[in-house]
A and B are shown apart, each in its own frame.
Chain A
Amino acid sequence: MGKKQNIRNFCIIAHIDHGKSTLADRLMERTGQVSERDMEEQLLDSMDIERERGITIKLTPVRMFYKAKDGVEYVFNLIDTPGHVDFTYEVSRSLAACEGAILIVDASQGVEAQTLANVYLALENDLEILPVINKIDLPSAQPEVVKQEIEEVIGLDASNAPLISAKEGLNIDDVLEAIVSTFPAPECDDTAPLKALIFDSYYDNYKGVILFVRVKDGTVKAGDKIKTFRSDKVYEVVETGVFAPGLSPKNGLFAGEVGYVAASIKSIQDVAVGDTLINADNPANEPLPGYKKVQSVVFCGIYPLDGSKFNDLKDAILKLQLNDASLIFEPDSSVALGFGFRCGFLGLLHMEIIQERIEREFGLEIITTAPSVSYKVLKTDGEEIFVDNPSHLPPVSEIEHMEEPIVKADIYSPPDYLGQIMDLCREKRGTFLQMTYLDKSRVRLEYHLPLNEIIFDFFDAIKSRTRGYASFDYELIGYETSKLVKLDIMLNGEVCDALSMIVHEDSAYTRGRTLCENLKEAIPRQLFEVPVQAAIGGKIIARETVKAVRKDVLAKCYGGDITRKKKLLEKQKEGKKRMRQVGNVEVPSEVFMQILKTNKD
C-alpha cells in the first residue's frame, strides 16, 4: 500500500442553499479550471431544473490542479453530491469515492437537518471533514455562533474553519490550502488487481454508458476486459478519462484517481451504481463495501394528458431511465386515464423532478395520479404481497391485515415553532420519540411517521407552519400494522379508479370529504347534475353535487361575429380534448393532479 501524495479526492456537503455549487464554482475559477469569462453560474449543475431549483440531482465530478503554498502542484478531484434526502444513496456512493468532505454551513442559518444527515454519512465513510463557514458577507452572519454550534452539535473542531463568502470570492484560498492540509492523500496500490467504485453513470448516445469511477486499487485502461462484481457480463474498455470538467480522455486511470470508463455498455441497468468494477482477466476477490440495491419509496401513475401520446411518453420514460437507474416503471392502465405507466421513485423530490423533466425535456403534458407508498398486504390465504397501486388492492374479504411503511423523521427548528410542529406530527399520526435542545435557538425533534402521511404535503406544511425555519429529514425504518382502507371516489355513481387511494381509517372521512369538496370546485358543470361521492367498500361517506350548467351560449351571433364565435366553439371543443371521460362525466385532466395536491389545511 502506498499513498498518492499529491491527490486529494473530496466532496462538498451542505444544506440546500448554503452555497455548495457556488463554492465549487469558485474553486474551479481559482484553480484556473474555468476562466472567469466562461463562467456560467453554477457550472456543476448542468440540468436546467438543477439551476432553477438550486439543487443538485446528478453527480458531476471535476478535476482541478492547485499549486499550493508549499510549491507542490496537487490534483483535486471534486465530486459534487446531491443535497436531498431522496438521493441519500447517491450521496453515500460519492462519499465513498472520497477521503474528505468540505462541510459548508451558512453563517446565518447554522446547522440544518440535511447537513447533519450528510455529515453522519460522511463520518460513516471515514471521511475527514473540513468545516467551512459561508456567507460571512451577510449582515446576519454570526460565524462565532455557528462555529460553536458545529462543535456542539456535530462535535467537530471548527476553530480553524475558513470563513468565506463563496459569492464574493472571499477567502477561497484558505479553503484550497485547508484541502491540502486537512484531507489525507488516497491510500492505494497500483499493482493490486483492479478495484474501482462505480459512483454514478449516465448514458451517452455515442459511447454507451459512461461509468464514473474512483479507482481504489490497480489500473484500468483502454483494451482491458472489465466486469462488475455482481454481474457476469464482460466488456472491453474503449476509453478512459477524467473530468476537466466534461469528459476529457486520458490514457489509463491509476489507483487513487477519479475518472470515467466507457466500455460500450448498452444499458444503464447492466451496471449498478455502488458496484465494484474489476478486471475480468485478473479479478479481485473482494468487492468494495457499501453496495445496496436501490428501492423505490414513492409510486405514482403517469399518463399522457392527450391519450394519443402514449408512445411519446414511453419514449420519454425510457430515455430518462437511461440516465437514472433508480427510476422504475411498468405499463399500467386506468379506466379514466387510459394507458400510462406506474412509476417508482426514490422519494417525492425525485418524483417531482422526473415529472418536470418529462414535461420540459420532452414537451409532453402528463397527468400524474396521487403518490402512493408500497403497502404490505397479508392475505387470508397466507400470501404476502406488496401493493402500491390502490386499484390492485385485493377485496377486503381477502385481506388479513395491512402494513404501511414507517419512517424516522428528524426535524430541526427554532423552539418557537415546537407547538406547531408537534400538532402537525400528531395530525399526521406521528409517534413522538424524543426532543433535544441543540442550543438555545435550535431543537431536534424525532418522530416515527407513516410514510404515506408525509408524501402529500408534509414538506409544505412544515415549511409554512414554521415560516420556513424548520428543516426535515427522514429514513425508512420498516413496516407497521395499520388500519388502512381504500377510499374510492364516485362520479355520477361510477368509481373513478384514478382517484382511488389507500388511507388510514381515521383520516378517511376527512380525506373523503375534502376530496369531494375539491372535486366539486374542479369539475366543470355538465349538462346534467353530477353527484360526487366518496366511498369506502361501497359505503358512502361524503357527497357533494356539481350542479348542471344553465347558461352556455354565445348570446349574439351576427354576421361579423360568426368567425369569432366559431373560434370560441372550436376552443371549447379543443378544451374537451383535455377532458377524461369517467362514465358520462367529463373531467378535465388537470383535476386529477390539482385535487391530490390541494389537500386543504
Chain B
Amino acid sequence: MTNALVMPVLIPLLTAIVLTFFRNSFILQRTLSFIATASSAGIGVYLLLRIQSEGILRLDFGGWEPPYGILFVGDSFALLLVTAAATVTSIILLYAFSTIGEAFEKMYVYPFMLFLLAGVNGSFLTGDVFNLFVCFEVMLLASYALLILGGRKVQLVEAFTYITINVLASWFFLLAIAYLYGATGTLNMAQLAERVAENGQGPVLTVISLIFLLVFSLKAGLLLYFWLPGSYSAPPAAIAALFGALLTKVGIYALIRMFTLVFHHSPEITQSIIGIMAALTLIGGSIGALSSNDIRQIIAYNVVIAVGFILVGLAAGNELALQGSIYYVLHDMVAKAMLFLAGGLMISLTGKAKIGELSGLIRNYPALGWLFFIVMLSLTGIPPFSGFIGKVLLGEGLIEADTYVLLTLAFLSSLFVLYSLLRVFLNCFMGEAIIGSEEQVVLKKRTLLPIVMLGILTLAIGLGADAIAPFVNDAASTLVNPQTYIEAVLDKEALLKQ
C-alpha cells in the first residue's frame, strides 16, 4: 500500500483542472504544467527504486481489498513507462512554450496535454480492465481536443476520421469487457489471470482475447494503422510529438500486459497472429515511409515501423525478447519525440514540408542538421545511442525463439528506417543552400534546447543501459512469470503474516 502510486495520475489531473481557471496568465500555465510533469517523472523514479527493494506495489482505493475494489498496481514495467512518459512530456512542454503560440495557449493547450498524460499514466498503472477502458477514454478525449486545436480544415477532417475510428474501437473494447465479465465473472487483471490459468483458456476465451487484440491493435497501430499517418501529421509539431511518443505506446503496453498476464495459455493462436500482424506492420510501414515525399508523413510511418518492431518481441514471448521490447519502447518514446520535434522545426522554419522543396539546410541551421542526424542514427540502432541495446536483445530473443522470418523482417525494417530518414537528411540538409543568410528565419536557442535535451537523453539511455538494466530485467521477469504479479495483488496479506 502506498499512496504515492496515484500521484503520477493525480498531479497532472489536478494541475490541469486548476489551470483551466487561469486562462490568461501564461506564465502560471507554463510554470505549473512543467512542475506537474517533472514531479510526476520524479515520483516515477522514486517508485521504481521502491519496487527494487519492496517488490510490486499496489494501492487499493477506499481500502477495498482485491478482488473487490479498483486498484493501481505498480510493477517495474508500468513505472518505467510512467517515468519515460512524464519525462518526455515535460521536454515537449518546453518546446511548446517557445513555439505553440498565444492562440493555442489561450485555448487550454497545456491543460489538455496534462489530461493526456494523466490518462496515459492511469492506463499504465491500473490493475483493472474496466479502469483501463476509462483511462483510455481520458487520454483519447484529451487527444481529440488537442488534434482539433487551431481548427484548420485539414485538422477538422482528419479529426473526424480519427475520432470515429477510436470511438468504434472503444465500443469494441467495452464489448470485449462485457464478454470477459460474462465468461469469468471478474475484471481484476490478477484475478482474471488466476481464473484463466485455473480453468484453462478455452475457445471462448481465445475469441475474447482476439477481440482485445483487435481493439489494442487499433490503438497501437499494429496492422490497423491506416488512420495514423493522416492524423499524426495534421497538428502542430509539439502536439504531434506528444501523440507519436505516447499514444501508440499505451496500446503497446495494453497488448503486452494482457497477452503476457492473462491470455498466454494458447500461444500457438494468439502469439502467431500477433507475429503475423507485426510482420505485416513492418512491411506496410516501410513501404509507407519510402513512398511519401512529405516529411510529416515519413515521420508518421516511422511510428508504424516502431510499433511492429516492438511487438515482434511479444510474438517471440521469451524473456530476452521482452527485455529488448521494453528497452525499445523507452528508447522509442524519446527518439520519436525528438524526430517529431526536429521535423516540425524544419517545417516551421522554412514553411515547406516536401523533401524536394528543401535543400542545404545544414548551412543555415547546422545544429538542427546534426541533431536530425543523431536521431536518425539512434532510430537505426547505431551504438552508442539508445536504439542499439533494444535491437540487440530483441535479436537474441528472436534467435532463441527460432523465429527467423520475424528476425529478418525486423532488422530489414531498420534499414528502411535508415533509408527513409537518410533521404530526408540528404535532400533537405545537404546540397546547395537555397535560403540566403539574410532571409533565413532565426532559430532561437530555447527552441532548440528541448531537442538537445532529448538528444542527450537518447545518448544517456544508450551509454547508461547498465544503470537501467535492473529495472528492465525485473520488468521482463514479471512479464514472463505472471505468478509474481498475481501473488503481489491477491495474496499480499497472506505473505505479510508469514
Check if A and B associate.
Answer: no
- A interface residues, Cβ below 8 angstroms from B: none
- B interface residues, Cβ below 8 angstroms from A: none
